[in-house]
Structure 1
């Protein structure tokens, strides 16, 4: 197995350029930020972009967790890999990844300055300052493995050498939790309005008595007290929790850990005589 290593400091556009470099050099496999990628598909791993803190993100990127690295290593052993590209911020980091995944020695180191212009690197740095990160897989793959992230697909038409055939390389721009937590203030009333909208959309809700929101650093816990006028709504409580969670995470980019919905009162129902 030939191991290629793309090295560059954080935010210089390594993941952005990875697909082009891999395509030019007939490399089908990429290891980037804790995940193993085969062309446009995530085969194994847990993305560092899903981490709630920077420290946790770094640990995932270097496969610090034994269970994480073993799962990725098992998939690598099953695949018939001729070439693989490993992305990291330094040679030390690359060597840690290579050693932990038992994929041999690095065949060739490539610096980001070798494949990107100064202008491209500056653009990448500015984008990172805004909290944006790139993962070299399509958005549909990211949606299957993440929750509560801002996700934007990015497609680029690319041609290898003088080849007349062109391919579309699809990447994804995301804003992970550790990029935006603590930098944006969201009024509690905004969260409450989202909750009220989704709850009343279910119908059969007499009133919302109380909404409590608890902020816990990297996530929030929510408590909702409601009165209902139809017993059938009890069967929909779990669905209500999921919809509220998805709406809040989509609109505010804040992770929701728990939603408790308490039915305080069932409004008196008048039954018709038999």
Structure 2
């Protein structure tokens, strides 16, 4: 065989070997993306576990309507979860939490009542203000006593109800009265804002100093009267995950919903002010 012929055969053999190597490499490469995708999918799934179980939220009474709506939305977004609420005076709720009551989230109507929980070391992280609320006078439908100001509540013979001074709505009412240099002796002090409002709804009182959100929620059962002194007594509402939360992951997701654009819209529509 001549030298050119041998060179030609060697060249063909090398070309064949190269082609075989390329095919093998191509086969490996084509399988790698699938493996990588599966790996990425598995990693993503493991980093976002499905939420389930009960979430217990202790919240100020004034949050009842808006939080109940958000609770239903949360359960819809996370099938298998159940949000249970304990609404009441923030000071009473704080005392229950520091006393060992099992809860995942605490939403208070003032930083002062939240401080009871943080000082006891029961909050996980720093509480965040998520809304604010302002006072309003709730009168009987049609405002038969012609109440037009905070000063009008001091009229003789008028039955007025206030929240207890230890709860946020009561403390705010006292600030407003001090701002107007007014003194008022109510017929009763109630343990939370809903109880104060109920006295007017049942016509057991002529008026009550409550939050705008409560007047809004009551619809035509009462009539609201704004007063300028309320600007001196606006309450910040903080929320926190609790350190001993039985269902911390779901609790974090609920807090996130409250602070999200969707949650803020629900709260704003209920009459709350943005933080």
Q: Specify which structure has the higher proportion of helix.
A: 2
TM-score, normalised to structure 1, is 0.24
TM-score calculated relative to the size of structure 2? 0.24
Relative contact order, higher structure (CA 8 A, sep 6+): 2
Where is the strand percentage greater, Structure 1 or Structure 2?
A: 1
Larger Rg belongs to: 2
